Structures are given as structure tokens and as C-alpha cells.
Structure 1
Amino acid sequence: MRRLLLLVLAALVAAFGAFVVGMRRKSPILQDRLRQFSKRVMTPAVLPTAGTAGQGNGVVHHRGRTSGREYATPVTPVPITGGFLIALPYTSRVDWARNILAAGEATIVHDGTSHRVVDPAVVSYREVAELLPRSARIGARVFSMDEFLRVRAAG
């Protein structure tokens, strides 16, 4: 029994190590699978409470750049003076980020409050590291996240 437990533990450690390496190297295969899992499983599970008071995550409402359709995507916005930062672990090529960049605006619901945001820009970790909480800096370093979406509060 103990040998089986050690084997399972070793397999979990190896899987986590492979995950970290894949994320750090921006493996297209891993990132695509994670995005699909997130869309199909995590988004429906998280979206009902995302953005409500007391939640760490939020929701970004944006319009499709080709379809014109309205979308809601759970994100983890970090409030900064005059706006928000949102980590882009799958790079800025994800649809929701491309939609916001194309439109130049979106709405973020965070901690129970809706915020219209404008002037989206992809910025590097180096540019915003000092604005991030310690936990976000650790996550960014572990997973080699170099891109963040910076948005400014509208008017």
C-alpha cells in the first residue's frame, strides 16, 4: 500500500513538473488543451460567482471582434491606480484579449462593482511587477508569464 502511495505521489509530482515546464515554454499543445478545458469546464463553474463581492476573480464583458456577439470571460483582475492588470498566462493571442484590444474598451466586474475600462495595452511583467501583489509575482515567475493586459478606468 505504501509503495502504491509513493508511486501515485511521484506521478503527481512529475505531472505538475511537466505542467510547469510546458507553461514556462509556452507549449502550444499544452496551452491549447488548457484553454479548451477552461472554456468548457472552468468557465461554466466559475462564471456564476465571478465578480461578486468578496471574490478574487472577476468577469470581463467584451464584444467579439468579428461576430459582434457579447461575451463574459472570468479573469483575475488586479486593481491598480486608475485601472486594472490582468495576467495573460496563455499570451495575448487569446480571443478575449484580442477582442478587448480591437474594441479599445470592455467592462470588468470586480468585487461586486462594474467598471468600464478603456485604453487596453499588452505590457510586460517587468513594466508592472511592482504593481502586483506578492502572490501574483510568484505565479508570474513560476509560470514565466510575461504578458499582462493593462486597462484604464474610463472617465
Structure 2
Amino acid sequence: MLTETPPIRGVMRRFNKHVLNPAMMHLAGRKHFYAAVLRHTGRRSGRHYATPVVADRVANGFIVPLPYGTDVDWLRNVRASGEAAVSLGGHTYDVVEPEIIDAATAGPQLSPSRRRVFQAFGIKRFVKLKMDRS
């Protein structure tokens, strides 16, 4: 478990999870909106979840920043199952093989503007999700 999340990020994470994320679900994943919807299954409950995330389309899949580290529920679910679905721009894509990558690996795959924003927020970890070609 990573402990690199400062206390303020913990407060923001709880606010986003309980206030902002439910509000964003009305627009996330739709055409012309920046946020995507990540659909995943609970690793213990088997329940289906939808979580708004920032997902950048890259060759063979998506890169999602991890501003709250690698110990967030949605990522633990996706890593446990090895699969999810990303809705972005009005389209849904099945993704597999979640891989935690660092900023040095993610950076060259991102647009310069996204890279600058993620650097400004001090995001050090990302997850790469590969497009399911099966």
C-alpha cells in the first residue's frame, strides 16, 4: 500500500467520492465532456460500480491518473478482476490488463497539455488499461 497521499488529498478524496463524483455521473462518459466513466465489479461483493475518472486515450487503450495513489477502491476492483469498461466521448470500450505506471512512462504517451496539468498536481502514478481485442 502506498502512503504517499498527503492528508489534504485524503479529505479531497472523500469529498470527491461522496459529493463530486455522484454529481459528475450525469455528464461523465458523454460526448464533449472531459471525464470518462469506469465501470467495474466489486472484488468481494460482485456488485457493479461506475466511477467518473479522467481517462486519456492512448495507443492500445487508456491512461488514467491516480491522484490519490494506488489504494483506491475502483483500482483495487479493476486489478482484482483484470478488466473493466471505459465510457468516453459517447463510446464504451472494454479494457484489460491494468498496469500501474509512473509519470516518466505515462508522460510521453500523453498530450503536452495533460502532462503539464498532471505534473502541476504532482501526480506520480497512473494506470494503463489496454483495449480488449478479443
Aligned with 1:79: secondary structure?
strand
* Residue identity opposite 1:44 in structure 2: P
* 1:91 corresponds to: 69
* 1:15 corresponds to: none
Q: How does 1:4-153 map to 2 (within 5 A)?
A: 26-27=5-6, 29-153=7-131
Aligned with 1:60: secondary structure?
strand
Q: CA deviation at 1:139?
A: 2.0
TM-score normalized by the length of structure 1: 0.80
Counterpart-to-counterpart distance in 2, 1:68 and 1:118: 18
Counterpart-to-counterpart distance in 2, 1:82 and 1:41: 32
Counterpart-to-counterpart distance in 1, 2:12 and 2:67: 10
Q: CA deviation at 1:103?
A: 0.6
Q: CA deviation at 1:95?
A: 0.6
Q: Which has the higher helix share?
A: 1
Counterpart-to-counterpart distance in 1, 2:8 and 2:47: 28
Counterpart-to-counterpart distance in 2, 1:135 and 1:95: 28
Aligned with 1:35: secondary structure?
helix
Counterpart-to-counterpart distance in 2, 1:140 and 1:54: 20
Q: CA deviation at 1:143?
A: 2.1
- CA displacement 1:50-77 (0-9 Å, x = unmatched): 0011111110000111111111000011
Q: CA deviation at 1:82?
A: 0.8
TM-score normalized by the length of structure 2: 0.92
Q: CA deviation at 1:140?
A: 2.0
* Residue identity opposite 2:24 in structure 1: V
**Structure of greater Rg:** 1
* Residue identity opposite 2:113 in structure 1: S
* 1:21 corresponds to: none
| Gaps in structure 2 of 5+ consecutive residues | none
Name the Cα RMSD after superposition. Answer: 1.1
